[in-house]
Amino acid sequence: MHDQAAAFAYVEAMLWGETPVCPHCGNFGKIYVLAGARSKPSKKNPEGIERHGLKKCAGCSKQFTVRIDTIFEESHIPLHLWLQAIHLMVSSKKGISSHQLHRVLGITYKSAWFLTHRIRECMRDGAPAGFGGDGGIVEVTRLSSAKSRVL
């Protein structure tokens, strides 16, 4: 997908199906679609940026998109780049590095690193393991001088 509108439509169909659900209150009865809504104007974008997929709940009066409560939340990276990165990561036989994603998607290395870590964390099986391995005890000591480093 090469545009935001198609990416939002795809993720909304996968996540919600026919009826959107408010992530704040769980309402799925009356949801308004805010088509044509734009962000605040700036020097870079004098008319503002179109906010794709923006909806408003009639129950709690809060705005939301499909990004809320997903790995896409709190990210300034466009949704179509997220979907391209996910596709590249899962279709690659040996995996893909953050450097390669940075070059292919045309984003900064820092953004590519952020993407890969969020996607890998989402694909991981099971709960995160603790420091002690299988519930073992972790002992931490502070070394105060060079002499105490000898074991």
Provide mean pLDDT across the span 102-128.
89
Provide mean pLDDT across the span 91-98.
90
Cα atoms found within 13 Å of the Cα of residue 86, Cβ hemisphere only: 16
Tell me the CA distances in angstroms from 33 to 20, 48, 63, one per residue in order: 10, 19, 10
Tens-digit pLDDT profile for residues 11-53: 999 988 888 989 888 888 888 888 888 888 999 889 888 888 8
Q: Distance from CA of residue 123 to its chain's centroid?
A: 13
pTM for this predicted structure: 0.75
Provide mean pLDDT across the span 104-128.
88
Cβ within 8 Å of residue 60, ≥6 positions away: 22, 24, 25, 27
pLDDT at 151 over 60: no
With bands split at pLDDT 50, 70 and 90, how would you rate the model's confidence at 69? confident
Tens-digit pLDDT profile for residues 122-148: 888 776 555 556 666 666 666 655 554
